[in-house]
Amino acid sequence: MTVDSKDLKALAHQELDLPLAEALEAKTQQYQDVVPEEVLDLLEEAVETYVVLEPTLPNQLRRNARKEIEFFLTLYKEKVKKYFHIPNPQPPKKILRLLSCFGADRK
pTM of the model: 0.73
Q: How many CA atoms lie within 13 A of 38 on its CB side?
A: 8
Q: In whole angstroms, what is the distance from residue 85 CA to residue 11 CA? A: 35
CB 6 within 8 A of CB 54: no
Identify whether 86 is part of a domain. yes
84 lies in some domain: yes
By CB neighbour count within 10 A (0-12 exposed, 13-18 middle, 19+ buried), where does 30 fall? exposed
Question: What does the pLDDT read at residue 6?
Answer: 56
Domain hosting 44: range is 35-107
Examine residue 94 and state whether it is found in any structural domain, yes or no.
yes
107 part of a folded domain: yes
Average pLDDT, 10 consecutive residues per value, the chain (107 residues): 53 59 83 92 92 91 91 93 89 85 51
Tell whether 72 is covered by a domain: yes
